[in-house]
Amino acid sequence: MTASSNGAGTLRIDRMILREIRLELREPFRISSGIVTDRRIALLELFDASGASTWSECVAFQLPNYTAETIETAWLAIREWLAPRILGRDFAGPEEIHAVLEKNIRGHNMAKAAVEMGCWGLASVLRDLPLSAILGGTRDRVATGISLGIQSEPALLVQRAEAAVAAGYRKIKVKIQPGQDVEYVRAVRDALGDSVGMMADANSAYTLKDVEHLAQLDDLGLIMLEQPLGDDDLVRHATLQRRMRTPICLDESITSVDRAEDMITLQSGRIINIKPGRVGGLSAAKAIHDVAQRAGMPVWCGGMLESGIGRAYNVALASLPNFSLPGDLSPSARYWARDIVSPEWTMDDEGMVHVPREAGLGVSVDEDRIEALTVRREELRPARATVGVT
C-alpha cells in the first residue's frame, strides 16, 4: 500500500464495507450474565481516497448482556449515523474522529469504536508507521493473561488454570458468579500456589448485600476483583472498596474519560480495565490511560473474544506505558480453530505477545476466509445530502 496521494496526514474515507461473519469458539465462554458459543462478529473494511485500506472489528455481542449494545444495534448505528459522518470528509488525522462521532449521538460506543479504530488503522498505513508508534506505545512485548469462563465444578477450573500457567500466562482471571465464587477461586489458589497472579471477574453479578461474602476473597491474594457490582455503578463500588483490601477494578462502569475521572474522584476502585470498544475507540482509551497514569492508577487491556483483527488494535494500545498489568490478550488458538489473520497471534514462552513493528494491523487479513465466513455484507458510500443527526 502506498502513502496518501491526498497529502501527508490527511484521511479521507470514500467507502466502507460492513459485514458479519460467524466464528465458532473452540469452547463456549460463560460469564455471569450469559454464554457465547458462536461468535457473531461485525467487521468493517475502510478504503481511503488514496487507495489504502484496512480492517477493523466491532466487539458487540449478539445479546445486550455485557453492555446495552448488540451486533444489530451496532450495524444500525454504523450504517445510519456513524459512517455518514465520516465518509467523503477530510480529516487531519484519526485524533479528530472521536469528537465527530460523539456530537449528538449518545452511546453506541462499540459501533463508534469500530469506525474510529479503523481510522487509526488507516492512519498507520498512510503514515507507514506501526499502530503502536502512532498511539504512543513504548513496549515491544506485552504480558498476557487468560480469562477463564465459569466451569461446572472447581476441579475443571483448576485443570484449565494449571494448563494456562504451564503455557506461560502471566495472570489467571477467573469468572465468578454467586454460588460459584469463593470456593472456585480458593481451589485455583490452592492448586497454583501463592506466586501466581490471579484475579476474579464478576461481570456485575453482586450487590452491596454481598459485602461480607465478597470480603472472603481478601484472603486469597487476588491482584484485583473486577466489576463486582452494577454495570454503570461508581458509588456502591466506592463503598465496597472501603470494605475490602483486594483492589477493585472497573470494566463495564468505565465508558468514557469522564467516568474514569469520576472513579478516581469517588475512589470506586484502584485499577481500570480498558477496552477500546467499550469506550468508543482508541482516542478515548488513550485519554483514560492518561488520566489514570496521572492519578497513579494502573490500567490493563481487556478483551471481548476478538478475532485477530480486533486483537491487533488491543495489542497496539496495550504497548502504552501505563498498561502495567497483563492484558486479556490470549493467542488466537485459545479462541479459534483457525483465526482470520496470518500469522495468528501467539505468545512466547514467557507469556508475552509481541507488538508488531509493521505499519497497519501487523498481521495480514485472510480475505478469502472472511468472504467464506460472511453471512451479510453492505457497502457504505457518502450520501449526496447529509440526513439524520448532525
Q: Does 147 bind ligand OSB (CB under 6 A)?
A: yes
For the chain, how big is the Rg over CA atoms in Å?
20
Instruction: Write down the least CB distance from residue 327 to Mg ion, Å.
Output: 12
Kindly give, in sequence order, each residue whose CB lies less than 8 Å from that of residue 59, ignoring residues fewer than 6 positions away: 110, 113, 114, 275, 277, 278, 304, 306, 310
Piece of 131-139, 212-220, 302-310, 340-348 that binds ligand OSB (CB under 6 A): 302-310
Q: 197 to 236, contacts with Mg ion by CB under 5 A?
A: 201, 226
Residue 167 half-sphere exposure toward CB, CA atoms < 13 A: 20
Residue with cell 506501526: 130
Q: Does 251 bind Mg ion (CB under 5 A)?
A: yes
Select from 121, 130, 281, 303 the one that contacts ligand OSB (CB under 6 A). 303
Select from 31, 43, 223, 353 the one that contacts ligand OSB (CB under 6 A). 31
Task: Choose the contact partner of 328 out of ligand OSB, Mg ion, none; CB within 5 to 8 A by kind.
Answer: ligand OSB
How far is 148 from 94, CA to CA, in rounded Å? 34
Q: Outline where DSSP puts E strands in 329-373.
A: 341-342, 352-354, 364-365
Q: Does 45 bind Mg ion (CB under 5 A)?
A: no
Question: Among 317, 202, 182, 184, which residue's Cα sits nearest to residue 251?
Answer: 202
Could you tell me whether strands 352-354 and 271-274 are parallel, antiparallel, or unpaired per DSSP bridges? unpaired
Residue 49 has what DSSP assignment? T
Residue with cell 475507540: 281
The residue annotated as part of the active site, out of 112, 171, 173, 175, is 175
| Active site annotation includes 175 | yes
How far is 314 from 274, CA to CA, in rounded Å? 9
Q: Does 304 bind ligand OSB (CB under 6 A)?
A: yes
The residue annotated as part of the active site, out of 171, 173, 275, 286, is 275
| Active site annotation includes 275 | yes
Instruction: Write down the least CB distance from residue 147 to ligand OSB, Å.
Output: 3
> Using CB under 6 A as the criterion, what x/- string covers residues 242-261 for binding ligand OSB?
---------x----------
> Which residue number is nearest to Mg ion in terms of Cβ?
251
Q: Does 313 bind ligand OSB (CB under 6 A)?
A: no
Cell numbers placing 121: 488503522
Size of the site for ligand OSB (CB under 6 A): 12
Q: Does 345 bind ligand OSB (CB under 6 A)?
A: no
Task: Choose the contact partner of 147 out of ligand OSB, Mg ion, none; CB within 5 to 8 A by kind.
Answer: ligand OSB
How far is 260 from 114, CA to CA, in rounded Å? 21
Residue type at 390 in one-letter notation: T
How far is 346 from 363, CA to CA, in rounded Å? 12
Q: 163 to 222, contacts with ligand OSB by CB under 6 A?
A: 201, 203
Could you tell me whether strands 141-143 and 53-58 are parallel, antiparallel, or unpaired per DSSP bridges? unpaired
Instruction: Write down the least CB distance from residue 246 to ligand OSB, Å.
Output: 17
How far is 87 from 55, CA to CA, in rounded Å? 15
User: Active-site positions?
Assistant: 175, 275
Which residues contact ligand OSB by CB under 6 A?
31, 66, 147, 201, 203, 251, 302-305, 328, 330
Residues in contact with Mg ion by CB under 5 A are 201, 226, 251
